[in-house]
A and B are shown apart, each in its own frame.
Chain A
Amino acid sequence: MAERRLRILVGKPGLDGHDRGAKIIARAFRDAGFEVIYTGLHQTPEQIVSAAIQEDVDLIALSILSGAHNTLLPAVYELMKEKKAEDIVLMAGGVIPETDIPGLKAAGIREVFTPGTSTETIVEWVRTKVTPRA
């Protein structure tokens, strides 16, 4: 009866106060059968990484609209490395210019989804690219 279930932390780093996008993606993940740990707004990178470790998630999905993605997202990945948790997949979505994406990917962010991406596309990406740990 053993059964692995994908666990995903959904949160919002930074100062902006909109969590509509994060909530939509959290619901889509739930409906896809994933277990979502929803941490809400205004998360520091330290809080995100600690929560991800305590919750043993397979994926950290961050929604970011504040424009601070180039500092916040790499900061999250650096902390993951520091805590030897870089096996967790890090993904982001939000208002992020195409030109910033290659730099973010080089900094450890596995995938970046821009506005207009359907939740189906994101769920499908998770299904194919993120496997629950062995």
Chain B
Amino acid sequence: MLAERVLDGDVRAAARLMRDIDDRMKSAVDELKVLYPHTGNAFIIGLTGPPGAGKSTLVDQIVAGFRKKDLLVGVVAIDPTSPFSGGAILGDRIRMNRHADDAGVFIRSLGTRGALGGLSRSTTDVVNVMDAMGMDVVIIETVGVGQDEVDIVSAAHTTAVVMVPGLGDDIQAIKAGILEIGDIFVVNKADRDGADRTARELSAMLEMRHPEEGEWFPQVLKTEGSRGVGIDELIAEFDRHHDFLKTSGHLQRLTEERNAKLFTDTLRDQLFEAVFGAIKEDGTYRQILDGLRERTTDPYTAVERVLAQSSFS
């Protein structure tokens, strides 16, 4: 059993289990069952923002910062899978190589494998493995392409949105969504012109949202990932948000949301696989396709019939 070895801190076993999860092996589910009671202890941080903003560089610095405090750190870094070949080049590690042989750091790269929300579908389970291994902090770096990177909000406790200066007037065009998902905003590449202006504009936009009394008000921080400037302040802000979550009761609500999402995602996957697998197996699917072609049935009726006949197991 891999799970027992994972709980004993066996890195090889953990890495293999993550692979089984990512490859959607049935056996992984049994392992995850064993690990689940040992999860819920890690502080999970998400970093999102456009490609090239410096997310991986910041992750490297944040890892170093938490290591200085003697905390164990896991990193899950997601890069896009090619929709054409199914292959991927996962390059986030390039910026984190100095931590590769630190036994207190575990870095895992994942391809999106067709998922659209900025994470892979395996991300939460892989984070859970790191959590069960005893990682104090787990940092998730999202893909950073597209604008629907909303999955990170339910996957992480604290989400930092990383931007760069020079957005200028474009900042007006930033989707409202990005302001909603950030607990912390980072203007990285502060060595570049316009960092102050971008930070000011961002702050102004955040202030327009009139937060209620007692709610979290996101700060805008400036960093220089490549030289490690502003990292201590960023880590202090992570800690401050974590404390806020704990004292305000938000942590419980977030955990609830996270649990609900993991449950409903798993339910959706398993129901689909069970039902679709069964109708493919027994020829029903073929018949439905024939019926649709002949227009003797329609997709809605066909689904209703399948559901009526399924025992969902």
User: Which residue in chain B gives the minimum CB-CB distance to A58?
Assistant: B19
Interface of B, secondary structure class, is mixed
State the total of A-B contacts with C-beta under 8 angstroms.
96
Q: Is A1 an interface residue, CB under 8 A from the partner?
A: yes
Q: Is the CB of A27 within 8 A of B89?
A: yes
A37: which B residues are within 8 A, CB to CB? 90, 93, 109
A36's partner among B16, B88, B100 (CB-CB below 8 A) is B88
Q: Which of A1-41 contact B (CB under 8 A)?
A: 1-5, 7, 26-27, 29-40
Instruction: List A contacts of B107 (CB < 8 A).
Output: 51, 54
Shortest CB distance A100–B (Å): 27
Which stretch (B22-30, B156-164, B200-208) binds chain A?
B22-30
Tally chain B residues at the interface, Cβ within 8 Å: 33
Let me know if B101 and A50 touch, CB within 8 A: yes
| Docked-complex contact B101 and A44, CB < 8 angstroms | yes
| Cα(A4)–Cα(B18), bound, Å | 12
Contact of B252 with A by CB under 8 A? no
In Å, the complex CA distance between A59 and B82 comes to 20
Interface residues of B in 70-117 (CB under 8 A from A): 81-82, 84-91, 93-94, 97, 100-101, 106-109, 111, 113
Is A84's CB under 8 angstroms from B109's CB? no
Are B87 and A31 in contact, with the CB atoms below 8 A? yes
- Alpha-carbon distance A107/B12, docked complex (angstroms): 23
**Residue total for A at the interface (Cβ-Cβ under 8 A):** 36
> Majority SS of interface residues in chain A?
mixed
Distance to closest chain B CB from A95 (angstroms): 23
Q: Which residue of B lies closest to A6 (CB)?
A: B87
**Nearest CB in chain B: distance from A55 CB, A:** 6
* A85 part of interface (Cβ distance < 8 Å): yes
- B residues sitting closer than 8 Å to A (CB atoms) are 11-12, 15-16, 18-19, 22-26, 81-82, 84-91, 93-94, 97, 100-101, 106-109, 111, 113, 273
